[in-house]
Amino acid sequence: MKIRTKMGMLAVGLSVAVAGTAAVGFYLTERSSLLRKTAGARSALADHLAQACRDALVVNDELAALNAAANVRDRTGVLDAYCLDGKGRVVAHADTALLGRWPPPLKGTDGVPMTVPVTKGPARKAVVIFSRTAMEREVEQALRDISHRIYPTLGVALGLGLLGAWWLALHLTRPIRRIAQGTHRLAAGELDHRLQEKRADELGDLARDFNRMAERLGELDQMKRDFVAMVTHELRSPLSAIESYANFMMEGVPSGEASRFIDNLSIIRNNATRLGRFVNDILDLSKIESRAMDVRKERFDVAGLITELTDLFGPVARERGVRLEIDVPPGLTVNADRDKIHQAMTNLMGNALKFTPSGGKVVLSAGSPPPAANGGRAHVRLTVADTGPGIPPKDQPRIFDKFEQVRGIRAAHDGVKGTGLGLAIVKGLVETQGGAVRLESVVGQGSRFSLHLPE
Ligand SMILES: Nc1ncnc2c1ncn2[C@@H]1O[C@H](COP(=O)(O)OP(=O)(O)OP(=O)(O)O)[C@@H](O)[C@H]1O
Ligand SMILES: [Mg+2]
């Protein structure tokens, strides 16, 4: 789930919770204050009746007390109202037939009596019987009125809360998204990518740190490239001198007792060649990695390239007892950088001949499979297949990384040991041209490396 969705949901949840809590809290306090108010009104009414009964006693005017009792009884929510003498007999009531009798008994459970003393001693009392249902109905009606007044306000507050939540989610996640995108681009090798850092908060700090980190990475990358360029330059000149001197001396010494001398010299030459190859490989890789490798595409004849390769590798294959076969349709052409394809194929052929034991074969083939076989894109395929030891599935993706080799696979002859750079270079050379390298291999049967070049 995206961070914006999460934050939006959290903010919406919080707004709803705050609005809900406010509504419930408001409802409860209003309700208790209403209950308090109605209780006050009830006791005031009973006090009023008590006072009327007291006054009637003082001035000996029973009629005033009767009127007061009738008055109180007529109020809404009152079931009955009367005054009692010290013995508990009715002395004031709207119904004069009840005077001098015991008060009428309470019917049902609805009546809630409230008694207030009128005199001290054998107490006269004023009694008002309130209706519980009427009391509750009154409170409920009042609460309903309040709710109708606060709902619109709550709705507006909630709407504003949601709007604020949406704005907050957007405001906070947009810079985070930009930083995430920047990190992806940096990880993909775009070291010159920078973020805007106008904000003054922590996200602005993060963007500034990101930019400093990208700058530092760029510097380190430059240092690495400079180092490789320097090492390459410093090694290449003396190595070519060694190589040409060794060649020169080997040509000038007659055979016989000097053969040992020549053997030693040939070791010097082999090592010089090996070091030279290593330096060139490092240089090629550094160019590929820094995207400094320029690609010069031209349309060329595939059969011509394959013939050149078989001429180059024919003698080595014969020497190692490996059969070299070719299978290329005439007239097949491809639009690619010829030198780079030549170099990639040389690396693949070198590997195939290095790992295939004597008696095996290496097949060089080319073709232009139907576009459906390559996701609808037209392409030309160049393949080097061998009957060597094969590569275990777990090692197949790894061997295209630099310095990676398959453990336990040994070259089929005592030649120059490799450094594990060849396939990384092949991959880089082909991918800079928009192509791809594919490997199919079965342990014990052989390997098949194909270059897919887009047309
Ligand atoms: N045709 C093949 N058959 C079997 N294993 C292979 C084959 N080609 C490559 N490999 C395995 O992949 C590894 C990497 O190959 P890569 O060409 O990158 O390096 P290398 O040949 O060891 O050294 P370099 O090419 O730098 O001299 C090899 O060491 C070998 O283990
Ligand atoms: Mg190799």
CA distances 430 to 77, 286, 332, 342, 440, Å, are: 96, 15, 19, 11, 17
Return the closest-CA partner of residue 182 out of 213, 161, 155.
Answer: 213
Q: How confident is the model at residue 227 (pLDDT cuts 50, 70, 90)?
A: confident
Task: Give pLDDT, residue 145.
Answer: 87
Return d(Cα 386, Cα 365) in angstroms, integer: 11
CATH 3.30.450.20 in the chain, residues?
A: 3-140
Number of H helices, E strands in the chain: 8, 11
Tell whether pTM > 0.75: no
pLDDT on residue 323: 97
Residue at token pair 């306000």: 153
341 vs 19 pLDDT, higher one? 341
- The 3-state DSSP class for residue 102 equals coil
Mean pLDDT, rounded, of the chain: 87
User: Which ligand has the shortest distance to the CA of 282?
Assistant: 1
R_g (Cα) of the chain, nearest Å: 51
Q: 327: number of CA atoms within 13 Å, CB side? A: 11
pLDDT (0 to 100) of residue 233: 65
CA of 352 to the centre of ligand 2 (A): 8
Per-residue pLDDT, 255: 59
> Is 282 in contact with 421 (CB distance < 8 Å)?
yes
Most confident listed range (20-34, 209-223, 324-338, 413-427): 324-338
Q: Which of 324, 349, 351 to mutate to test the pocket of ligand 1 (most atoms within 8 A of CB)?
A: 351
The predicted structure's pLDDT at residue 49? 92
CA of 351 to the centre of ligand 2 (A): 5
Tabulate helix, strand, coil % of the chain (nearest 5).
60, 15, 25
Q: Ligand 1 atom closest to Cα of 409? A: 31
- Ranges of CATH 1.10.287.130 domains, the chain: 202-289
- The class level of CATH for 202-289 reads mainly alpha
Compute the average pLDDT of residues 418-442. Answer: 94
Looking at per-residue pLDDT, the higher value among 111 and 228 belongs to: 111
pLDDT band at 375; cut points 50, 70, 90 = low
DSSP state letters, 336-368 = E-HHHHHHHHHHHHHHHHHHSPTT-EEEEEEE-
Per-residue pLDDT tens for 51-84? 998 888 888 888 888 999 999 999 988 999 999 9
- The CB-side HSE value for 42 (13 A sphere, CA atoms) comes to 24
Query: What contacts 24+ positions apart, CB below 8 Å, involve 57-62?
Result: 57/118, 57/119, 57/124, 62/91, 62/92
Q: What is the pLDDT of residue 120?
A: 75
Q: In what order do the strands lie in the sheet with 379-386?
A: 323-327, 361-367, 379-386, 446-454, 436-442
Task: List the structure tokens of 17.
Answer: 């919770």
Query: Which range in 143-152, 237-246, 279-288, 324-333 is most confidently predicted, on average pLDDT?
Result: 324-333
Q: Which of 139-153, 254-268, 274-288, 371-385 has the lowest mean pLDDT?
A: 254-268
Lowest mean pLDDT among 108-117, 189-198, 414-423: 414-423
404: pLDDT strictly greater than 90: no
**Which of 285, 405, 407 is the best mutation target for the ligand 1 pocket, counting ligand atoms within 8 Å of the beta carbon and taking the most?**
405
Confidence band of 373 (pLDDT split at 50, 70, 90): low
**Minimal-distance CA residue to ligand 1 atom 4:** 390
Segment holding 113, helix H or strand E: strand 111-117
From 3.40.30.10, 3.40.47.10, 3.30.565.10, 3.30.450.80, which CATH number describes the 298-454 domain?
3.30.565.10
Question: Could you report the per-residue pLDDT of 307-356, keeping only the tens digit for each?
Answer: 999 999 999 999 999 999 999 999 999 999 999 999 999 999 999 999 99
- Topology of domain 3-140, CATH: Beta-Lactamase (3.30.450)
Average the pLDDT over 402-427 and give the result: 81
Ranking 211-220, 304-313, 407-416 by mean pLDDT, the lowest is 407-416
The CA-to-CA distance between both ends of the chain, in Å, stands at 40
Give me the pLDDT at residue 417, please: 66
Query: 383 or 15, which is more confident?
Result: 383
